[in-house]
Amino acid sequence: MQIQTPDWVKHAVFYQIFPDRFARSKQPQKRLLHETRWEDWDAMPTLQGYKGGDLWGILEQLDYIQDLGINAIYFTPIFQSASNHRYHTHDYYLVDPMLGGNEAFKELLDAAHQRNIKVVLDGVFNHSSRGFFFFHDVLENGPHSPWVNWFKIEDWPLSPYNGEFPANYAGWAGNRALPEFNHDNPEVREYIMEIAEYWIKFGIDGWRLDVPFEITTPGFWQEFRLRVKAINPDAYIVGEVWGDSREWLDGTQFDGVMNYLFAGPTIAFAAGDRVVLEQVQTRDYKPYPPLFAAEYATKIQEVLQLYPWEIQLTQLNLLASHDTARLMTIAGGDKASVKLATLLVLTFPGAPSIYYGDEVGLPGAIDPDSRRGFPLEANWDREIFNTHCQLISLRHAYPALRTGDYQVLYAQGELYIFARTLDKEELIIAVNAGTASVKANVNITMHTQPNKLLYGTAEVEWNSKEETQQLTLTVPARSGCILGVG
C-alpha cells in the first residue's frame, strides 16, 4: 500500500494556541461576560479560572502570527465546555460562546485562510462531560434515557459529583467529570463521524485527536480517516500518542502523531543536567537523564526508523505543549538550552510545532502553570524571539530543511553534526551542547562545500582529499550553527 499524507504539512510550521490564554479582543464585541469575572491576565493560572482569551483576540493577532512565519495553527479545544481548557465538551457543534461562538470562528478561519494559514482543531472523541446533553439526559432519566447505551454505565444510581459514592460509570482516567463514550455502539460511532465531517465541511484543515489510543473499537480510526479524507483529501489527522505509534501510523489511520519521542531526547541533549526533575518526572516522554551526542544520535536514528518516510514528514514535532512544563522552566531558565533545542526542532523532518509564548521565552511549570497568558511585548525575551524568527525563516527558505534526507555526520562528546540534503541543496547543522568550544574534523562526501554561516557562529575550513572532503569545524560552547553554500 502506498502511504499518502498531506503535502502542506511537510512545509508547515505550527503554532499551538490555548484559546483562553492567547489574546483578549481589544475591539468592542458582543460578549457573554465583560472584564469583571476574568482572572487577571498576568496572574498565575488556576485549574478553574478563565482569563477571557477569545477568537477575536487571535484574529487581531494574525499579523503577529504570520510575521513569525507560522502557516498552520493547532487550537486546543474550542467547543462549548465548562472548563478553561475545554476538554470537557458540552456541545460538539457549538464553538464556545465565551470564545465568540461559531460566528467568530468562521471569521477567524476565513482570515487565516486568506493568509494561507491552515487551522487544525482538537477532537475530544473518547469522552464528553457531565454537561453533554446526552449524558445529562441519562442523569435526569436514569435507565429510561434513550442514550443509556452511549456510555459505559456500570450500575445505578449514577453519582456524577459526590466522590463518597461510586460513580457507577466509566470516566476517562477514573475522572467522573469525563464520562467515556461506548464506541462499540454504532450510534455513537456515527455521531462522532458526523462531527468530524461537519467541521471539515465548515472549512477546517484537520483534526488533532485527543487520547485516540483509548478508542479500541476495531475499524474506528480507519473509518474516521476514510470519511474525513473523502471530504478533504488534504486534511491532516494527527494523534496524541506519546510513545511508539506504529500501530496507528500504517497509512490507514493517522498522518502523524505529536512527536514526544523526538522531544524527550532533544531536551535531554540540549538541556542535559540542567533539566529540573520535578517538571518532567510525572510525564512519560523522558527528557531525562542527560544524553551525550552519540546517545542522542542513536535515539534520533531509532525515531527516524520507526515509521515510513512519508509519515516522518508529517509528524508534529514539539518541545512543549499544554500537557508539559514549558521548555524554559524545564531547562531551569537556561536560554542556551532553549535555543539549541529550537535549532534542533526547526531543522528536523516533520512539521515543527511551537507552543504559544515559547517563542518569547514564556516560563511555566507543569499545568496549569504552563497555560499562562501570553505576555506583553515589554516582557518578551528578544533573544529567544529573534532565534525563532531566524530559524523559521531559514526553514521556509531551504526545502532541504523540510523534506531533505537527514544524515548524522558526527556525534562525539557533546558535539552533534548532521546534514540535510535535497537534490543539490546541502546544509550542515552543528550543535555543541557542551560548556567548552569544540573543534572537530569530519570526512564528508558531498557535491558542495557548505561554508556560509546561515545561522550561529563557527570557524569553518574545508580540505579536499581525493574523493572525500574534510570539514574542520570549531563551534563555540553552548551554541549551534547552520552552514549552506555561499
Q: 3-class DSSP state for residue 472?
A: strand
DSSP conformation class of 180? B
Residues 6 or more apart whose Cβ sits within 8 Å of residue 230: none
Q: Which position among 96, 205, 240, 323 bears the catalytic label?
A: 240
Q: Cite the DSSP H helix spans in 52-118.
A: 55-60, 62-68, 101-114
Q: Which of 210, 255, 358, 359 is catalytic?
A: 210
In the block, cell 540540549 appears at 270
3-state secondary structure string, 319-370?
CCCCCCCCHHHHCCCCHHHHHHHHHHHCCCCCEEEEECCHHHCCCCCCCCHH
Q: Max alpha carbon distance in the chain (Å)?
A: 84
Task: At 221, list the grid cell.
Answer: 480510526
Give the span between the Cα atoms of 235 and 229, in whole angstroms.
6
Nearest alpha-carbon partner for 296 in 462, 441, 416: 416
CB 238 within 8 A of CB 207: yes
Q: Give the contacts of 154 (CB within 8 A, at least 6 positions apart).
A: 166, 168, 169, 170
Residue 110: HSE in the Cβ half-sphere, 13 Å Cα cutoff? 7
Beta strand 236-239 pairing with 206-209: parallel
User: Residues with Cβ < 8 Å from 32, sequence gap 6 or more?
Assistant: 97, 98
Task: Please count the other Cβ atoms lying within 10 Å of the Cβ belonging to residue 438.
Answer: 19
Question: In degrees, to the nearest 5, what angle opens at C-alpha 160 toward C-alphas 155 and 164?
Answer: 85
| Catalytic residue check, 323 | no
d(CA 228, CA 42): 39
Q: Could you list the beta-strand ranges (E) of 102-149.
A: 118-123
Write out the DSSP string of 421-440.
Answer: EETTEEEEEEEE-SSS-EEE
The reply to whether 240 belongs to the active site is yes
Among candidate residues 300, 361, 274, the one with its CA nearest the CA of residue 326: 361
The separation between CA 158 and the C-alpha centre of its own chain, rounded to angstroms, equals 36
Sequence letter at residue 445: T
Contact 380, 438 (CB under 8 A): no
Q: Which residues are catalytic?
A: 210, 240
